């Protein structure tokens, strides 16, 4: 399924600089229908919407949009690849979804480590790599990247295993496939380790996608918080990154699309 070209009745997208390709995460705008969100992001000039499922591709295509990150993996965040008993259902999911993602123009499909629940980080690395080595050949065949998100275990996802960049990088090395990389969530990693810009510069070859968010609070990425996103975006551009950056903050503005547009302008370096 190829995204439709915009017709003459569609509003022209906003003029952006083109150094950063922009997306937004669906769940932050759940008060809007998907059609309403598509219309808004198309007007602002975004290319994509994150964290939708394959059933949503048809709606996106009506607006010339893609799904930057396809979600829906069994077990969700807490029950992931660090448990061998979860592998069969997760592999079956990727066998079904990866070809559809390729056909629908979705470059990334998400997975999760799962929670520790008493498991050592080393055992988690071993178990995750076993599962991902079953998935990697499917991703390689279709040219789709499987991404594991780095999340904070300090505030939002207690006990989550893939909560530090170095753990994720080590997993990438063990899997040994260019079609498995990390989703570097800037908000989450600010909470866990800070040092965001140097981390991006050092480990950018292991990163396939980025999410934003204000810290503290995960709200707007403006001057109310401690991260300076223009500098972070410039660092991403300097690595040669050609993928998408998705806004993933919870709007406090009564007009959430106004907050989204402001964030895109902040990041459009």
42-53 confidence digits (pLDDT tens)? 999 999 999 999
pLDDT digits (tens, 9 = 90+) for 143-165: 999 999 999 999 999 999 999 99
Q: What pLDDT is recorded for position 52?
A: 98
In whole angstroms, how far apart are CA 51 and each of 17, 29, 46, 132, 247? 25, 12, 15, 20, 11
The side-by-side arrangement of strands in the sheet containing 66-67 is 66-67, 48-50, 21-25, 244-247, 207-211, 180-185, 145-149, 108-111, 69-70
Under CATH, which number does the domain 21-267 receive? 3.20.20.150
Residue boundaries of the structural domains of the chain:
21-267
Q: What is the distance between the alpha carbons of residues 205 and 148, in angstroms, rounded to a whole number?
A: 14
Strands 48-50 and 21-25 come out as: parallel
Amino acid 37: pLDDT = 98
pTM, full prediction: 0.94
Q: What is the bridge-based pairing of β-strands 69-70 and 48-50? A: unpaired
| pLDDT at site 68 | 98
Residue-level pLDDT at 15: 82
Residue listed under structure tokens 């999410």:
211
Identify the segments of the chain with pLDDT beneath 70: 1-14
């Amino acid at each position: 399924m190829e995204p439709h070209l915009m017709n003459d009745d569609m509003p022209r997208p906003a003029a952006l600089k083109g150094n950063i390709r922009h997306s937004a995460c669906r769940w932050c705008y759940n008060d809007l229908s998907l059609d309403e969100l598509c219309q808004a992001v198309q007007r602002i000039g975004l290319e994509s919407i994150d964290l939708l499922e394959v059933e949503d591709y048809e709606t996106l295509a009506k607006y010339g949009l893609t799904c930057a990150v396809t979600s829906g993996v069994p077990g969700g965040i807490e029950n992931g690849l660090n448990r061998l008993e979860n592998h069969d259902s997760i592999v079956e999911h990727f066998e079904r979804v990866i070809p559809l993602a390729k056909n629908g123009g979705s470059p990334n499909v998400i997975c999760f480590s799962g929670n520790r629940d008493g498991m050592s980080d080393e055992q988690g690395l071993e178990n995750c790599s076993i599962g991902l080595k079953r998935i990697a050949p499917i991703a390689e065949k279709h040219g789709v990247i499987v991404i594991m998100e780095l999340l904070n275990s300090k505030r939002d996802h207690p006990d989550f295993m893939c909560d530090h960049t170095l753990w994720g990088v080590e997993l990438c090395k063990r899997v040994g496939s260019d079609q498995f990389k990390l989703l570097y969530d800037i908000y989450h990693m600010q909470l866990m380790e800070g040092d965001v810009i140097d981390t991006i510069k050092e480990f950018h070859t292991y990163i396939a996608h980025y999410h934003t968010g204000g810290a503290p609070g995960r709200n707007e990425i403006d001057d109310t918080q401690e991260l300076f996103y223009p500098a972070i975006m410039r660092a991403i551009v300097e690595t040669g990154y050609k993928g998408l950056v998705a806004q993933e903050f919870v709007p406090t503005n009564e007009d959430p699309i106004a907050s989204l547009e402001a964030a895109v302008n902040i990041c459009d370096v």
